[in-house]
Structure 1
Amino acid sequence: MLDIIRTGLTDIRAGLGKRKIWMALAKEDVGDSLKRTRLGRLSLLLNYLLFVGTLLFVFGRNDPNYVIYLACGLLVWNFITDTITPSVTLFVGEEAFIKGTVLPLFVYVMRHTMRSTIRASYALIGAVGIVLYDKGVSTGWLYAVPGMVWIVLTAPAAATILGILGVLMPDLKFFVQNIMRLAFFLTPVFWYPTGGRLRDLLYDWNPFTHYVDIVRQPVISDTIPLHSWAICLALTALVWAIAILLLGLYRKKIVFLL
């Protein structure tokens, strides 16, 4: 067991040490995905604003905080789904690199995470603009920053787990895609947990809820959601533990399983 953990940690350490490689590849990925668009990276910002506007038009409420509630919820959710859904094919998509180089597997994980972070940064600009216009600057912004950082720190672990499972179970990508579509409606991104017992249960027992809340609640109420933070700390620790074990187990086997 110790050898497995040591192997996983060694790969992570080596991958983090290749920062220039995965940062350059991530920037190139974002640029390549937008090079045929007229608006370029601006389209990422407009996409987010249009999504917020559409949901606001459909589900708009009289609550003065609803715009911020929706904007912050979508910001976090878009990053989560942009990280999780493609993670299942992470190592499969990097097959040529993995078989042709000796780079640590964690390089590909960080490339994926950085790509999602860069894309989310444009949505963050839109979210900040919405909050500034609707509420202005408050101390809650400071409380929200650790939440955003924590979500980004959780992303590589989740991507590692799903990437390895995606190699072992190729059909998993279809299940994850459908689960994430369903999870969007089961997570309080655009609805409040005051519509009955079922909604309250979904709010309390949905892990995504708490990752959204550690960013959104400070901005809305200038308070730190300690309950959600406790859950997120425990979940992230668990996810990282599983990721390290899987990476240690399959680090040398992935190339033969692809």
Structure 2
Amino acid sequence: MNHFSNLRFELQAFTNHRYLWLHYAYQDIKQRYRRSIVGPFWITISTAIFVTALSQVYSRLFKISLNGYFPYLAAGLIIWTFITTALNEAANSLISVENVIKQVRIPFTSHIMRSLYRNFLIFLHSWVVLFPVLYLFGTLNVSGIIYSFLGMAILLLTLFPLSMLLAISCLRYRDILPMVSALLQLLFFVTPVMWRVEQVPSLLKYMAWNPFYYMISMVRDPLLSDHFPVSSFVVTASIGAVAWLFAIVILMRTYKKIAYWL
């Protein structure tokens, strides 16, 4: 009964306490770009410049057409940046609010949602770059956008329990924190963000074990080809379901210890 009561209190982060993390996520962004004229749209500008420069280099390096490569690279980099930034900051989400946790009793999930929602808002500023790119290269279509939005919703539902598991693990074992950052940097090179799987067929069998491949494909592929990637949706949703189960179990087992680990 005690576990049930704690779980119910944590779920209030999505109901009674949702205004808390919504407000603080917005304030985090506002504080980050305080006294800036352009504000968070610097993210949009820097993303556009970075993708344009990188596509010029790698399209020549891989000897492929810029028309097909530019939208692929833009979508891949933006989605990958969101996933890795969200996970990296989630790993530190409980540690960074030590004083709050020790003084005020609010759901731990509120702190994780604050981190995830903040990064989602930042992601949206970069995502707007995609639409003019898709329009210019002739791949913009309504059904693809709808499929991509659906993929984004599933991605968010998957990232939340993964963020919770990382937050609790890094709080308990601080050595995991730098390991997460290093591992994500390594995975960038073995995940088809800048390169296509078709370019390296020998790696295709290894992609089946890379969850980030499915997460990116689920959001990116519909935008580029108006194709509904069923396998990516199924795998990502399955990962999310398992992650939710583990996250709830771990949270309930460590619930009373979290404040003492700070």
Q: Distance in 2 between matches of 1:97 and 1:210?
A: 36
2:82 aligned residue: 79
Q: Which amino acid aligns with 1:232?
A: T
Q: Give the structure, 1 or 2, with the largest relative contact order (CA under 8 Å, sep 6 or more).
A: 1
Deviates more, 1:158-167 or 1:212-221: 212-221
* Number of the residue aligned with 2:7: 9
Which residue number in structure 2 is paired with residue 163 of structure 1?
167
TM-score of the superposition, structure 2-length normalised? 0.91
> After the TM superposition, which of the residue ranges 60-69 and 103-112 deviates more from structure 2?
60-69
- 3-state secondary structure, aligned to 2:109: helix
Tell me how far 1:199 sits from its aligned partner.
2.3
Give the Å deviation of 1:64.
3.0
Structure 2 residue runs of 5 or longer lacking an equivalent are none
In the alignment, which residue of structure 1 is the partner of 2:256?
252
The number of equivalent residue pairs is 256
Alpha-carbon distance in structure 2 between the residues aligned to 1:153 and 1:177: 21
1:83-118 Cα distance to aligned partner (Å, 9 max, x none):
111222111101011001011101101111110111
Deviation larger for 72-81 or 31-40? 31-40
Residue aligned with 1:194, SS: helix
Q: 1:215 to 1:39 in 2, by over 3 A?
A: same
Partner of 1:119: 122
- After superposition, residues 32-111 of structure 1 pair within 5 angstroms as 32-35=31-34, 37-60=36-59, 61-62=64-65, 64-111=67-114
The whole-number CA distance in structure 1 between the counterparts of 2:18 and 2:109 is 10
- What displacement does 1:169 show? 0.7
Higher mean Cα deviation, 45-54 or 195-204? 195-204
Deviation, structure 1 residue 74: 1.4
The aligned amino acid for 2:39 is G
Asked if structure 1 preserves the Cα contact closer than 8 Å seen for 2:101 and 2:259, the reply is: yes
- 1:9, CA displacement in angstroms? 3.4
TM-score, length of structure 1 as denominator length: 0.93
AA at the equivalent of 1:51 = F
2:18 aligned partner = 19
Map Cα deviations across residues 28-67 of structure 1 (whole Å, 9 max, x no partner).
1011122254531111111221221232022113163211
**Residues 242/86 of structure 1: CA separation in 2 closer, same or farther (3 Å cut):** same
**Separation in 2 of the partners of 1:232 and 1:186?**
18
Question: 2:229 & 2:181 partners in 1: Cα distance?
Answer: 29
Determine if contact 1:7/1:248 at 8 Å carries over to the other structure: no
Counterpart-to-counterpart distance in 2, 1:222 and 1:198:
26
Alignment of 1:209-220 (within 5 A): 209-220=213-224
Instruction: Provide the alpha-carbon RMSD of the alignment.
Output: 1.8
Displacement of 1:192 after TM fit?
A: 0.7
The alignment partner of 1:223 has SS state of coil
**Structure 2: distance between partners of 1:143 and 1:19:** 27
Please state how far the C-alpha of 1:167 moved relative to its aligned partner: 0.8
Listed as ranges, the matches of 1:178-193 within 5 Å are 178-193=182-197
Residue 103 to residue 133, structure 1, CA distance change in 2 (3 Å): same
